[in-house]
Amino acid sequence: MSLFATKPLDVILADAEHESLKRSLTAPQLVALGIGAIIGAGLFSLTGIAAAQDAGPAVVLSFVLAAIGCAFAGICYSEFSTMIPIAGSAYTYAYATMGELMAWIIGWDLVLEYAVGASTVAVSWSAYVISFLKDFGIAFPAAFAASPFEPVTLPGTTTVIQGIINLPALFIVIVISGVLIIGIQESARLNSIIVVLKVAVVLIFIVLGWSYINPKNYEPFIPPNTGVTGVFGWSGVLRAAGVVFFAFIGFDAVSTAAQEAKNPKKDMPIGIIGSLAVCTILYVLFSHVLTGIVNYTELKVAAPVALAIDRTSYTWLRPAIKLAIILGFTSVILVMLLGQSRVFFSMSRDGLLPKVFSAIHPRFRTPWRSNLLFMVFTGAFAAFAPISYLGEMTSIGTLFAFVLVCIGIIIMRRTHPDLPRPFKTPLVPLIPILGIAFNVTMMYGLGWSNWARLFIWMAIGMFVYFGYSRKRVTAANPTPTQ
Ligand code: ALA
């Protein structure tokens, strides 16, 4: 079988029929799944930093730009997810359009988005928990809440210590993996409850904060460029778009649950585009209020929301808001890890990965062994890796996946023009081309060191593919299937 042989669509769909993942998710649950994965560390930690360092109050425009890039990709995801409504997401789409090698590349790349993304948010979760405990006078030993590769400055001091292990981050990964093993419905239910809380916090912040906006804080709206590209001015707005892109990551996780949706043809586009639209509106309003209450020059802090709350008369809300944010991060980790196990589930079913990744628990009907293995992988990254590396790897990996999905739509229109498309991307090839352009531009902005890391990760992937997967697939299919 050739490296570029695609997997025929009827075979993909027939394979999925034999699998026993439960079809139980409804449209509102899918939107909640999307919001669960989207609103998290990006909004609550990065907005302030992007405003302070790159865009000033115009960070609002950066959110709009990043949303436009995501919307193009989201529309393409929607078309695929109604045409191929099974687990595996971008990996499966690539198998149907670009062949086995590209499918492998994207499946391997998605580990960066989902598993490494979950580790990134677990580290942010840890930081918020430590700060929450501190508000109650409980001091968690700093060395046990930090990576050994990232020196930490103790809050309120100039003392720098060396981390040993990030135990809270490891803890939350273990707990969430346990929930995922117990069941998709249980996970979706927990997610829905958290999403209500998380959206409530954002709305409360917007509504209560609105009257504390000081219009002077919006002057200048786009601070003049300092002479360095990306530091304020329009180039700063663009750079900030690359930073806050992280806040949108996750809407595509909805597509990994397509095989568990009750009515995927109708509900997948609602889940993907609906969650993206809700979050975009919330982000724009949230960042407008944040930069209106606190001057952008003061926003370079880890918890900008807490700082803004302190400028209002609602300081008593501070612990409740922190707690809701912590829960909010929890659902991001949940959906990311869910997406990860579903992608590897599909790759394993296709023979590209060992069967352990598609073994379904007889009672819980979840890929429990895969959940356990990813608990170890994600937990190790969360416990030991520095957050800045993790965050940027997540972004570049996700952008790469978006680009490949947009390319896939153009290819699929040529190779399968007559296939029923319950949801059709308008203006093909314009929309996918714009998606590619926007997302490649944001990838470019992440700089060469991230490209190098992406390249190393992909090189490891090629090693596994040619050393294991390729041999297994060839042995299982001695004659070409197409
Ligand atoms: N969008 C997710 C977050 O911001 C990954 O936490």
Question: At residue 243, what are phi and psi to the nearest 5 degrees?
Answer: -70, -50
261 contacts: CB under 8 Å, gap ≥ 6: 23, 25, 30, 85, 267, 268, 271
Question: Atom 3 in ligand 1: which residue has the minimum CA distance?
Answer: 40
Which DSSP letter does residue 315 get? G
User: DSSP string of 75-129?
Assistant: HHHHHHHHHS-STTTHHHHHHHHT-HHHHHHHHHHHHIIIIIHHHHHHHHHHHHH
Domains parsed from the chain with CATH numbers? 9-473 (1.20.1740.10)
Instruction: Select from 248, 279, 334 the residue to mutate for testing ligand 1; criterion: most ligand atoms less than 8 Å from CB.
Output: 248
Q: How far is the CA of 62 from the centre of ligand 1 (A)?
A: 16
Please list every protein residue whose CB sits less than 6 Å from any atom of ligand 1. 38, 40-43, 117, 121, 246-247, 249-250, 332
Dist CA 51 CA 73 (whole Å): 25
Q: Closest Cα to residue 121, out of 243, 37, 182, 178?
A: 37
23 contacts: CB under 8 Å, gap ≥ 6: 259, 260, 261, 262
Instruction: Select from 332, 390, 392, 398 the residue to mutate for testing ligand 1; criterion: most ligand atoms less than 8 Å from CB.
Output: 332
How does pLDDT run along the chain (482 residues), one tens digit per residue?
Answer: 566 666 666 666 666 555 555 666 888 888 888 888 899 989 988 898 889 989 999 999 999 999 999 999 999 988 888 887 776 578 888 888 888 898 999 999 999 989 999 999 999 899 889 888 988 888 888 889 888 887 777 766 777 888 899 999 999 999 999 988 887 777 778 888 888 999 999 999 999 999 999 999 999 999 999 988 888 999 899 888 888 999 999 888 788 777 778 888 888 889 999 999 999 999 999 999 999 999 999 988 767 888 898 898 988 888 888 888 899 899 899 889 988 888 888 888 888 888 888 877 777 777 888 899 999 999 999 999 887 788 888 988 999 999 998 998 999 888 888 888 888 898 889 999 999 999 998 888 777 888 899 999 999 999 999 988 777 776 666 544 43
Instruction: Kindly tell me the burial class for residue 118, based on how many C-beta atoms sit within 10 Å of its own C-beta (0-12, 13-18, 19 or more).
Output: buried
